[in-house]
Structure 1
Amino acid sequence: MDDNNNNSSDERPTVMVTNDDGIDAPGLRSLVRVLVSSNRFRVLVCAPDSEKSAVSHSITWRHPVAVKKVDIDGATAYAVSGTPADCTSLGISEALFSSVPDLVISGINMGSNCGYHIVYSGTVAGAREAFFNDIPAVSVSYDWVGGKSSVDDYKLAAEACLPIFSAILDEIKNKSYPLRGFLNIDLPTDITNHKGYKLTKQGKSIFKMGWKQVISERQGGKMLSSMEMESDSSARTENDTSTVPAGYLLFKREVRGAVLDEVDTDKLSLQEGYITVTPLGAVSPAETDVHSFFKEWLPSAIQRFSSSAL
């Protein structure tokens, strides 16, 4: 496959962009335009051909994925029928592009990805897949709020991230960038008046979800790009199905409450107006007291129930 790395005289670092909202999403398009217009990077795009929000780190295993070249000014871009993790895996494999990117950027997501919602996020998975393969990566999300946000905010969000991208690539060039984690960036709704950049830790915030029975897709509403995003009718369109097929019942998720964090975690800092920068690993380890409990519990549990079974 051809890509814009073929110009051997171009010494700019290469970034590859993916997302979970789809290759036509305004967040990705704004990010790519800012990256290209900065003239600091060679830009590749390998993103889902349609929305793949909240698919977490699912991958396509048994079937091939379809790939189509897409025209995006200043970048070499492909739309893929798979998940965000598929897109990253393919994009860094050298099967699609002629070389491995220096940095993978996943986003900009429509809605924040903080706390336990990181587990659901296809955006974060796009970066995590690069991390699995020892390639520096960043996931980027904008805290979209219906009625307050506009597509112009994505450009401001991308520009606010440029110093971080450039600093990472400088560390990569100097071989001083740690590969034991990746970064998750969330940008506040009022990006114009953000309070600065703040290193945070992943918190435990989550929306408590329930289910309700509905008679059509439209009655149930639509979960948009993030469970943390307020619905905005102008942001997306809905596909309606007329009635429930014979013999089936329809159930839709609904938000029934929220659990918030303690101080200095990603969600609270984002709500305070900071651009949060959160280092992540492959998984979130159990807390120390939980590990200590099971360290003593496991031997006694096995002994107790093995004896009782005799």
Structure 2
Amino acid sequence: MECTVGTGDRPAIMVTNDDGIDAPGLLALVRVLVSANRFVVRVCAPDSEKSAVSHSITWISAISVKRADINGATAFAVSGTPADCTSLGISGSLFPSMPDLVISGINKGRNCGYHIVYSGTVAGAREAFLQGLPSLSLSYDWVGGTSNIDDFTLAAEACLPIINAILAEIKNKSYPQKCFLNVDLPTNVANHKGYKLTRQGKSIGKMGWQQVTSDAQGGQMLSTMTMETNSLTSTEMDASTVPPQNLLFKREVIGAIVDDDDNTDYRSLREGYITVTPLGVLSHAEIDCQAYFKELLPGVTECFSSSAL
């Protein structure tokens, strides 16, 4: 397999994300792609942060599109979601042709385990996959106080080999069409241990709700985490004690559930690998759940038939 793509007929890459078109991760990725001088680089990304919107799309309202100034790339800022941006960017309405590859990222924060469900970054790549185009989502495991902006450039450079390899396979018409890739880069990306094929695990951030007095109160939450519906403590209020005015709540991190199985994305990322996880769209239930409902459903039908008499 060739590891480089010829520069005579340069492949087109379209970049999107969920952190917004001005996010350092996207800008670093575009700079690296442009500097490689091997690709036609296009950008179609949200005009503001759209983290944790998952695969939502704009259906009723119109979305606005404005040209954006990104050196070396043709770029548009869109008022919609990441899935909107991908859909519009590959529709032929903004760019003269379909891209050869869609890349979503680089996200500020990992997207592993069940967090993938909430991720707008992953949705940007998934939308391209739904439309039959090769795609991958890229996320950097940003840790406050440890990571810095330059790490996004290192992450983008570390992804060039797999981007080149994918494009070579696309050119050879040998790239698989039944999956897209989710790639996570470790915090210490400068000393990563190389690429590792992984599978989606079950890790998830446990979240709660904190009552606040203003929208500015409380910290910003990771975009791909979810809440934990645990019981309320001393601040618990039932319907009879809730004051008549509007209440404000913000999410807060209260813990995590970590999947420590071998070869899962989260564990391998924490070990320092660049994790490469093939994903599809359909989520199948565990086999034992299939067996359970196979036994349950006949009885449900019988009970309903008897009660109808």
The question of a shared fold, defined as TM-score above 0.5 by the shorter chain, is answered with yes
On the 8 A contact 2:118/2:223 being kept in 1, the answer is: no
Q: Which runs of 5+ in 2 are unaligned?
A: 1-6, 227-243
Letter in 2 for 1:198: K
3-state secondary structure, aligned to 2:52: coil
Letter in 1 for 2:266: K
Paired residue secondary structure (2:217):
helix
Root mean square deviation, CA, Å:
1.5
**Does structure 1 retain, via aligned residues, the 8 Å contact 2:118–2:225?**
no
Q: What amino acid does structure 1 have at the position aligned with 2:286?
A: E
Partner Cα distance (1:258, 1:309) in 2? 46
1:226 Cα deviation from its structure 2 partner: 4.3
Distance 2:194 2:305 in 1: 57
Residue deviations 1:217-251, cap 9 Å, x none?
232222244449xxxxxxxxxxxxxxxxx821001
Equivalences for 1:1-310 in 2 at 5 Å?
11-227=9-225, 247-261=245-259, 262-310=261-309
What SS does the corresponding residue of 1:94 show, helix, strand or coil? coil
Q: By how many angstroms is 1:78 displaced?
A: 0.3
CA contact 1:143–1:187 (8 Å) conserved in 2: yes
SS at 1:278's partner residue? strand
Given that residues 110 and 226 in structure 1 are in contact (C-alpha distance below 8 angstroms), is that contact kept between their aligned partners in structure 2?
A: no
Helix, strand or coil at the partner of 1:220: coil
* Aligned-partner SS, 1:28: helix
Question: In structure 2, how many angstroms separate the alpha carbons of the residues matched to 1:99 and 1:66?
Answer: 21
Q: Which residue of 1 aligns with 2:232?
A: none
* Separation in structure 2 between the aligned mates of residue 224 and residue 176 of structure 1, nearest angstrom: 37
Q: Deviations over 1:84-136 (max 9, x none)?
A: 00000000000111100010000000000000000000000000000000000
Instruction: Give CA-to-partner distance per residue, 1:42-80, whole Å, 9 cap, x none.
Output: 100000000000000000001111000011111100000
Report how many aligned residue pairs link the two structures.
285
Deviation of 1:254 after TM superposition, in Å, equals 1.2
Q: Which amino acid aligns with 1:38?
A: A
Q: Hey, what's the Cα distance between the residues in 1 that align with 2:308 and 2:196? A: 54
**Partner Cα distance (1:10, 1:18) in 2:** 25
Q: Which moved more, 1:65-74 or 1:279-288?
A: 279-288
Aligned structure 1 segments of 4 or more residues deviating by more than 4 angstroms: none
Q: Gapped runs of 5+ residues in structure 1?
A: 1-8, 229-245
Given that 1:19 and 1:106 are in contact with CA atoms closer than 8 Å, whether structure 2 keeps it comes out as yes
Identify the residue that residue 242 of structure 1 maps to in structure 2: none
Equivalent position SS for 2:53: coil
| Amino acid in the other structure paired with 1:267 | Y
Distance 1:137 1:297 in 2: 40
Query: Aligned partner of 2:292: which letter?
Result: F
Measure the CA separation in 2 of the matches of 1:11 and 1:129.
26
Give the Cα–Cα distance (whole angstroms) in 2 for the partners of residues 305 and 256 of structure 1: 43
Shift of 1:255: 1.5
- TM-score normalized with structure 1 length: 0.89
Letter in 1 for 2:300: A
Aligned to 1:236: none
Deviation at 1:307, TM superposition (A): 1.8
How far apart in 2 are the matches of 1:222 and 1:216? 13
- Mapped partners of 1:157, 1:171: distance in 2: 22
Distance apart, 1:12 and its partner CA: 0.5
Indicate conservation of the 8 Å contact 1:15/1:101, yes or no. yes
